[in-house]
A and B are shown apart, each in its own frame.
Chain A
Amino acid sequence: MSISKILLKLTVNGIARQIYVHPMARLLDVIREDFGLTGTKEGCGEGECGACSVILDGMLVNACLVPAVQAQGSTLRTVESLAGVDLSPLQEAFLHHGGAQCGFCTPGMLVAGTHLLETNAVQDEAGAREGLAGNLCRCTGYVKIVDALLATREGRP
Chain B
Amino acid sequence: MRGQPSLCDVLAPLNLDEALALRAAHPEARPLAGGTDLMVPFAAGRLPDRLFLNLWGLEELRGITVSDGEVTFGALTLFREIAAHPLFQREFPNLVRSAKATGALAIQSRGSLGGNIANGSPAADTPPSLLVYGAELELTSLRGSRWVPYADFHTGYKRSLLAPDELITRIRVPRPRAGGFHYFRKVGTRQAQAISKVSLAAWARTGNGHIQELRIALGSVAPMPIRARGAEKALLGRSGASLPLDAALEALQADISPIDDLRSSARFRRKVAGNLLADMLRGLALV
Residues in A lying within 8 Å of B, measured CB to CB: 1, 3, 6, 22-26, 29, 45-48, 50, 53, 59-62, 64-70, 72, 112, 130-131, 133-135
Contact = CB atoms under 8 A, between A and B. Distances in A.
A134 B110 contact: no
Contacts of A25: 5
A62 B54 contact: no
B1 interface: yes
B1 A26 contact: yes
B191 A64 contact: no
Contacts of B34: 65
B3 A47 contact: no
B56 interface: yes
A3 B43 contact: no
Given A61-B106, A134-B104, A134-B107, A26 B192 contact: no
Interface of B: 1, 3, 5-10, 12, 32, 34-36, 39-40, 42-44, 50, 52, 54, 56-57, 80, 103-107, 109-110, 191-193
Contacts of A46: 39-40, 43-44
Contacts, number: 107
B108 to A, nearest CB: 9
A45 B32 CA distance: 18
A100 to B, nearest CB: 20
Contacts of A68: 5
A37 B50 CA distance: 28
B9 A65 contact: no
B78 to A, nearest CB: 9
Contacts of A130: 192
B107 A62 contact: yes
Pairs of residues from A and B, 6 with the lowest C-beta to C-beta distance, nearest first: A134-B104, A133-B192, A22-B5, A23-B10, A24-B8, A24-B5
A137 to B, nearest CB: 13
A125 to B, nearest CB: 15
Contacts of B103: 47, 134
A24 B10 contact: yes
A10 B193 CA distance: 29
A47 B52 contact: no
17 contacts: A23-B54, A24-B9, A26-B39, A46-B44, A47-B39, A47-B103, A50-B106, A59-B80, A59-B109, A60-B106, A62-B107, A65-B35, A65-B110, A67-B52, A70-B32, A133-B104, A133-B191
Contacts of A48: 193
Nearest to A21: B5
